Amino acid sequence: MRGGGKTIIPGMDIVVAVATIVIAWLVGMQYSPRSWGSDPVPYVLTALIFLPLAARRRVPVIALAVSTGMLFTYLALGYDQLGLNFWGPILLLYTVASLRPPKITAWCTTALVPVLLFAAKRTQLPWYVAVAEAVMIPVIAWSMGNVGRQLGLRNQQLAVLTEQLRIEQEARTERAVTDERVRIARELHDVVAHHMSVIAVQTGLAGYVFDDDPPTARAAVDTIAATSREALRDMRRLLKLLRTEDEPGDTALSLAHLPELVGRMRTAGLPVTLVMAGPDIEQLPSGLQACAYRVVQEALTNVMKHAGLAATNVLVRLEADQLTVRVANAYGTPSEPGPVGGNGLINMRERAALYQGTLSAGWRGDGGFVVELTLPIGPDDEGTGAPPAI
């Protein structure tokens, strides 16, 4: 019944109107004891009573007014055999109640009741039956139509709310994508900072021994070249993520890459030892492994920045319910003064928080520094499933 916005009369409404006219004619012809016989007037008036059903969705109030007027004319001309004519205005009153506010329906009901009382009087019904028929039937039609109108309004409200939820969901998805891109951008910063630190140390070393120890200088230059290539590979990998949102797949860093990282740091002159303890440590989710790798990388970069070539120990231990990563360095002096503040510890703590882990960092009693990462491992983390890649 919610087709009021259409500019043409629906074909189904025309079919309904014609069908009701034909049925009303058949009832009028066969009604006992007084049928319409061959008199054409009741047939014409009956058609005019039901024909407004075709326009009930477009102009329900006008359709009801026309149908009620034709019924009154039918009765005023002395025809007391109603057949189905009584129900034409009732059906249209239901339509008005389903499409228009209750105030309009009340005025339409008030106008219809006297005509129905007139019809009851012409058919010589007892007064109490006439009142019940003329009042109760329109009220029931009004109530049923109003229920349909309320259901239609609720459906419209649900449709609006559904659209709002869809828009909000899209907005949340876009925000999540944006947050992921920001996180990847921080990742790019960490990668560049690590490789640039290695290059800076090796450049200083090559310049220092360039004249006195050419082989060492040549080895430093080779390390700079290898580190630069690795930096370019990391940057291409991360920029690809920024452009396409694809998963890193086999290119994602994991704990298996730690020996390679430690090897580069040793080549750069940093004395590092690596211990990896625990069964199936490389079967952890790739996102968890990437988080641990990046914390180790950031911690080693900070050692070179702030402690120079101080002896450093890296421990990666897998226990039943947690992964522990510990990077501890002895007291040392940086080869070149660096900035006092930075985002390294902040980034590491953000990575830990992403996986409900904790990160502690502080000075040791002997003047060294220690960074310890603890990542909880639940039942869902013991397989190879991958949380969001870091």
> What are the helix (H) ranges across the chain?
11-30, 40-50, 60-76, 87-99, 102-122, 127-209, 214-244, 258-267, 286-306, 344-354
Of 106, 124, 142, the position where a domain reaches its end is 124
Q: What range defines the domain where residue 337 resides?
A: 254-390
Residue where a domain terminates, one of 103, 124, 145: 124
Confidence bin at 104 (pLDDT 50/70/90): very high
pLDDT value at position 343?
Answer: 63
User: What is the reported pLDDT for 131?
Assistant: 81
Domain termination residue (choose one: 124, 158, 186):
124
In 80-205, at which residue ranges do the beta strands (DSSP E only) sit?
Answer: none
* Residue 160: how many other CB atoms lie within 10 Å: 10
* 226 lies in some domain: no
Calculate Rg over the CA atoms of the chain. Answer: 43
Task: Select, from the ranges 34-43, 78-87, 209-218, 312-321, the one with the highest average predicted confidence (pLDDT).
Answer: 312-321
Answer whether residue 135 shows pLDDT above 70: yes
Number of domains present in the structure of the chain: 2
- What pLDDT does 61 receive? 92
Nearest Cα neighbor of 265 from 194, 332, 206, 331 is 194
Q: Give pLDDT tens digits for 363-388.
A: 888 888 999 999 998 665 554 433 33
| CATH code for the domain of 369 | 3.30.565.10
Output 178 or 11, whichever has higher pLDDT.
11
CA dist., res. 304 & res. 267, Å (int)? 13
The 10s digit of each residue's pLDDT in 273-319 is: 999 987 777 788 877 888 899 899 989 988 888 888 889 999 999 98
What was the pLDDT predicted at 252? 62
**384 within some domain:** yes
Q: Is residue 344 part of a domain?
A: yes
In a domain, 167, yes or no: no
- pTM (2 d.p.): 0.42
Tokens at 33, concatenated: 């004891």
H or E element in which residue 6 lies: none
**Residue carrying the six token digits 């309904």:** 16
Is 30 inside any structural domain? yes
In a domain, 150, yes or no: no
Q: Is residue 196 part of a domain?
A: no
